[in-house]
Structure 1
Amino acid sequence: MELHESLYALGRSQGRELFNDADSFRGALDDYLDEDSASTGDINLLVDAVRLGAFQGMMSMLDSGADADRAVSEAGNRLARDRGSADVGGAMWALAVLGYATGKVSDAQVRRYRTQHASAPTPPPAGPATVLPPPAPGSAPAPPPAAPPPGAPAPTSPVWPSSGPNPNVPGSAPGPVPAASYGAPPPASYGGYGHAAPRKKRKVWPFILIGAVVLALVVGGGIFAVIQLSDGDDDKDDPTTTDGPTTPTDTGPDVTFEALNERYQSLAARVTSGMDSCAAAQAQSGQSEKVECTFPQGTLVLTTYTSVGELQAARQRRLNNAEGTIVSDVESGAYYRFDPTVAEPESTEPPILYWDSQAGVQSAELTGATSVTADQLDPAFVAVSATVTPPDGPTDIAVQDFNSLFDIVNCQRIPTEIGGETEESECRRSGRRTWVGKFAKVNDLRRYRSNAKTLAEQDNDLVVDYWYNDDNENGQQDDDEPEQGKIFGYIEEQDDGTNYGVLYIDDLDCRCYLQMYDRGQADPEKLYNLIF
């Protein structure tokens, strides 16, 4: 993969606003590029193009309709001058590379400018394309490959434990895990999402350019005044002269409620319901329109993307598995909700609700105002009659099969209580409260299992066992029926003095687990007997 292709892929994965901040850009280059991808001099040249404002100047010219070659040439000359360098060809090459990374400059143009840059690395031999090049200016980038299908569901054959509760089964001591962070029943209510605000674009222009602009304005203003005086005298005798402009001016997108409701029907039946006012905002690379609305509980940002690929890239930047999230990621439209107080009860970060529509190539994001909770933000989502439905139970097929295997019913989706979880639900089993969750990575499940094992050891191994699938239904474990998951039982003490018996069961193939609580009898063995 060549350097300009690597930067294009970097922008797609981390967001093209990365190119607006020199320090963040430099850090990303150091982390992302291989050692032989670019020389230190070339990296410094690319970073200086951002730090000295040449890249921002080029993007302003391109957004105003300037020809790509002209924009690269002018910005490159400016960059060389500000660096005190005679390597104008290298400066233009750097601007062309950044232009390609944002989808504004073609591959052929980058290669042409590279021939003027003596220190640019020699391209590798031609081979299969590893990254789709961005389109020529004015067209939309191609969408990325579709996401892989979810993992295979867990086996649905009958469950068989290895034996009854065995207090004599030894276990290796895992690394200590704070017990307070696990196992506690989740709160009754749930909430939304918070994130750091993006850096503002820095408009840095050379003083020479500022002086030239001021001089042009002064001279031009004088000429304009003379012309106006002359025209004014002529107009007195010209009966056809009329007041006001003779051609319409571009006033930006129509942000009236009626127009927005019509344009954003793919997101909601009435997306402006409850809004106080809306105004056009600065669209970023990959966006054709951005509108910001305000309402008493916070703000709403509506975005239209230039392609499905740009929408999908923005979606993946938004969705995550942070503690306190509820995520539904389906191709037609994703839903994301984050409550910062789940991880930190005293958090002052705002809750956020996000959803999108692939058919409309649009997204909406609600952000709570200061002191607004996720529960208070929910009514704004309900009011607009969104086209995306929040998940009300387990959505992962493997989790659904896991629940069926252990007769888990009446599940209600809640925010994840552990970082790395893709989903968590509060359910019932034999009338007992039971929490079921799934991790994105098997190592995260192993760490959570380690905590349950430690608690069981502290309680003298009340329940230590494993289970397997008796595929041939002969009542015993055969060589081709390996262990499927672990079983641990322990006692959890509450602040009010109540002691709960807890039964933990997991499935490594599914990367999911359940925790079943008794009614305060502090007897996990009875829970074990209920299931097995």
Structure 2
Amino acid sequence: MENAMELHESLYALGMSQGRELFNDADSLRGALDDYLDEDSASTGDINLLVDAVRLGAFQSMNTMLDSGATPDRAVAEAGARLARDRGSADVGGAQWALAVLGYAIGKVSDEQVRRYRTQHMSAPQPPQPGGAPTALPPQAGPAVPPVGQRPADSGPQQTAPVWPSSGGQGASGAPAPSPVGAGSGGVPSYGPPGGFGSSAPVPPGRKRSPLVGILVGLVALIVVVGVVVVVIAVNQGGGSGGSDDPSAGDSSSEGVDVSPDAINERYQSVSTDIATGAAITSCTAADTLAAGETEKIDCDTENGKLQLTTYQSEQGIDQSRTRVVDYKDEGQLSDPVDSGYFYLYDPSNAEDPSRKVAELYWDSKSGLQTALLTAGDGVTSDQLVNTWKATNPTVDEPTELYAPQLQAFATRFSIRRCERIPTLYGGELEEAECAHNGNHVWVAQFSSDHDFKTYRALAKKLAKQDGNIVDRYWWNTNDSSQTEQGKIYGYIDESGNGVLYADYASCLCYFQAYDNGEGDPNAISGQYFSSGES
């Protein structure tokens, strides 16, 4: 006998027969599902969940992320977290499953991913026997993101990173390629039933509900309401530890918080899908008091150091957390300031004073309102910390390419290519990357302030002056009739005999630093970047 199609396969077939634009309108989708699906294909709750994914915009958000290059797992994680939060539900796994089903229906999420999310959604109907061949071919996976620090095979011999007298050495993680990012969780943990009692979602036409079911639901709701009233009265009359209404006042949080690995994995899916196991957590404790805006904070010991997990009441808490952790004043930082999920690594091996701080890796989920901070233990390197982070299957990506649009345009202007992000080598830099141009190594970077930019420029000028001002001029854009100065150009010879050309662009606080292959001729390098009409 032919195996019955599963729900995600049925939705794919529905989209093929009625057009995939069907999934863009909640009312049309509701009607189509009621007419198309058999009674036992999906529960009323699952139908409501799928329709809510469209009605509340989570499906559209997932589609946008996928079209922008996000991996299916990351898009499902972020959109699922948003859907769970918007529904006021604790069923994060169910929300992710619904987005995965819809993603499969439009050919952008694989059958394997849908089945993996289904295990987190216990209410999803199981097939009567092992499912047959999928209706659609699984979407092709995107190319693996190269790890930070891994250089292109054809980039030639490695050069010494650009180092001024005050900067540290070069370095990047060189860690294995990151695992595919995974599912997410949403919002403040809630332990009520998914959707809550008294759900306002209408019963779809054609799905008759037994009068007995309605009576039983009403009785259960009444019992719950009475129980809540009794508890509230007892707490108010007994002066219980219900906490202050003032969010700035400390709130006791340790009592009753489940800090078992399984519970932590489930609650912190928005930052990593396997955070407890991946980080090799040995023990955890919940904080006794919480700061303003926090709803939960857990401190854990791991094999490589400490892990702190925090859940916030609003996006403001995430913004404040980023401000506390991220510090561009120090060299050795690598960050990806994407609004949906921030990545920040501090690598002390690139710092001028590596003993001042230990390696740290912070990441968060704005839709899930959660943050994670790994702090290295004694003797633990940033590479080890990155490997631990990858093992948790995080929902954010490791930065590997230029992020700032101005810096990208600056590199393109001078045909600088194959740029790969590395931890910054000078304090005040927003980002730095190792690139290539005509077979030579080039470093590009952007500063956060005019002061730091001009301080670095002054160091370049000093080195050029020490070598007799081999190159000391400025450049301008020939399309500008006034020939306004765009930036400075300096050249010198480093201790290894390499010709070095420094050029900057004041408008974006950017610079590049190009090295020849031991020829010791910065003027020759300059001719590769600037025509006679530009400098």
TM (norm. structure 2) is 0.51
- Check whether the contact 2:166–2:352 (CA below 8 A) recurs between aligned residues: no
Alignment equivalent of 2:325, drawn from 314, 318, 325: 318
CA distance in 2 between counterparts of 1:188 and 1:313 reads 28
Q: SS in structure 1 opposite 2:306?
A: strand
Say which of 393, 398, 419 aligns to 2:427.
419
Which of 271, 276, 279 is the matching residue for 1:272? 276
Deviation at 1:487, TM superposition (A): 0.9
Alignment gaps of 5+ in structure 1: 1-177, 192-248, 472-476
Tell me the equivalent position of 2:264: 260
Distance 2:174 2:323 in 1: 23
Aligned to 1:372: 380
1:484 is matched with 486
Deviation at 1:429, TM superposition (A): 1.0
**Corresponding letter in the other structure for 1:518:** D
1:390 has 2:393 as partner: no
Q: How far 1:288 sits from its partner (Å)?
A: 0.7
One-letter amino acid of the counterpart of residue 260, structure 1: I
Which one of the candidate residues 288, 291, 296 is aligned to 1:284? 291
Letter in 2 for 1:478: S
Identify which of 296, 304, 308 aligns with 1:297.
304
Measure the CA separation in 2 of the matches of 1:374 and 1:280.
26
Q: Per the alignment, do residues 506 and 491 of structure 1 end up closer, same or farther by CA in structure 2, a change over 3 Å counting?
A: same
SS of 1:359's equivalent in the other structure is: coil
What's the offset of the Cα at 1:185? Answer: 6.7
Aligned to 1:527: 525
Counterpart Cα distance in 1 of 2:291 and 2:357: 24
Distance 1:421 1:348, change over 3 A: closer
1:486 Cα deviation from its structure 2 partner? 1.0
Deviations 1:317-374 (A, max 9, x none): 1112021101121221111100123224651632110001110111000011111111
The one-letter code of the counterpart of 2:318 is L
Question: Any idea what the Cα deviations from partners look like across 1:177-216, whole Å, max 9, x if unmatched?
Answer: x95225x87235489xxxxxxxxxxxxxxxxxxxxxxxxx
CA–CA distance in structure 1, aligned partners of residues 354 and 449 of structure 2: 29
1:180 to 155, 165, 180: 165
Task: In structure 2, give the amino acid aligned to 1:423.
Answer: E
Query: TM-score normalised to the size of structure 1?
Result: 0.52
1:499 to 497, 500, 508: 497
Greater shift in the superposed pair: 354-363 or 266-275:
266-275
Shift in CA distance, 346/186, structure 1 to aligned 2, threshold 3 Å = closer
Higher relative contact order (CA 8 A, sep 6+): 1
**Counterpart in 1 of 2:477?**
469
Q: Distance in 2 between matches of 1:179 and 1:469?
A: 28
For the 8 Å contact 1:341–1:347, the answer to whether it is kept is no
Moved over 4 A (4+): 188-191
- Structure 1 residue 349 and structure 2 residue 357: aligned? yes
Spell out the pairing of 1:51-70 with structure 2 (5 A cutoff). none
* Whole-Å separation in 2 of the counterparts to 1:348 and 1:267: 28
Answer with 1 or 2: which has the greater Rg.
Answer: 1
Cα distance change of structure 1 residues 508 and 437 upon mapping to structure 2, 3 Å threshold: same
Separation in 1, partners of 2:455, 2:529: 24
- 2:169·2:349 contact (CA, 8 Å) conserved in 1? no
Amino acid at match of 1:503: L
Instruction: Please give the secondary structure, in 2, of the residue aligned with 1:285.
Output: coil
**Secondary structure of the equivalent of 1:451?**
helix
SS at 2:441's partner residue?
Answer: strand
Distance 1:187 1:261, change over 3 A: closer
| 1:330/1:189 CA distance change after superposition, 3 Å | closer
Q: For 1:319 and 1:179, how far apart are their aligned partners in 2?
A: 24
Q: What is the 5 A alignment of 1:223-234?
A: none
- Cα offset, 1:252, TM superposition: 2.0
In structure 2, what is the Cα distance between the partners aligned to 1:190 and 1:400?
Answer: 23
Task: Describe the shift of the 1:419–1:179 C-alpha distance in structure 2 as closer, same or farther (beyond 3 A).
Answer: closer
- SS state at 2:281 partner: coil
Give the Cα separation in 2 of the matches to 1:264 and 1:485: 47
Q: 2:416 aligns with which of 393, 400, 408?
A: 408
CA shift digits 1:232-252 (9 cap, x unpaired): xxxxxxxxxxxxxxxxx9942
Question: For 1:341 and 1:364, how far apart are their aligned partners in 2?
Answer: 22
Paired position in structure 1 for 2:313? 306
1:18-62 superposed Cα distances (whole Å, 9 cap, x missing partner): xxxxxxxxxxxxxxxxxxxxxxxxxxxxxxxxxxxxxxxxxxxxx
Amino acid paired to 1:434? V
Q: Give yes or no for contact 1:353–1:365 (8 Å, CA) kept in 2.
A: yes
Matched AA of 1:386 = P
The alpha carbon displacement at 1:523 in A equals 1.0
- CA deviation map 1:279-311 (0-9, x unaligned): 212332321101122221111111001221122
In 2, the alpha carbon distance for the partners of 1:446 and 1:345 equals 22
Helix, strand or coil for the counterpart of 1:254?
A: coil
Q: 2:346 is aligned with what amino acid? A: F
Offset, 1:465: 2.1
Q: Distance in 2 between matches of 1:446 and 1:354?
A: 30
Within 2, Cα distance between the matches of 1:353 and 1:190? 16
Check whether the contact 1:190–1:414 (CA below 8 A) recurs between aligned residues. no
Alignment gaps of 5+ in structure 2? 1-162, 176-241, 243-253, 531-535
Instruction: Describe the SS at the equivalent of 2:341.
Output: coil
- What does residue 516 of structure 1 align with? 514
Amino acid at match of 1:510: C
What percentage of aligned pairs have identical amino acids?
Answer: 41
Corresponding residue SS for 1:278:
strand
**CA positional deviation for 1:491:** 0.7
Q: Secondary structure at the match of 2:357?
A: coil
Deviations 1:247-285 (A, max 9, x none): xx9942111222211111111111112222322123323
Task: State how many pairs are aligned.
Answer: 288
2: CA distance, partners of 1:406 / 1:179:
23
SS at match of 2:301: strand
- Aligned equivalent of 1:362: 370
Within 1, Cα distance between the matches of 2:460 and 2:320? 37
- Distance in 1 between residues matched to 2:494 and 2:172, nearest whole Å: 19
Distance 2:173 2:366 in 1: 30
**Cα distance in 2, alignment partners of residues 334 and 187 from structure 1:** 21
8 Å CA contact 2:492, 2:500 repeated in 1: yes
2:172, 2:334 → 1: CA distance? 15
Q: Following the alignment from structure 1 to structure 2, what is the Cα–Cα distance between the partners of residues 299 and 432?
A: 41
**Aligned-pair CA distance for 1:415:** 0.9
Shift of 1:501: 0.6
- SS in structure 2 opposite 1:452? helix
Q: 2:440 matched to 1:432?
A: yes
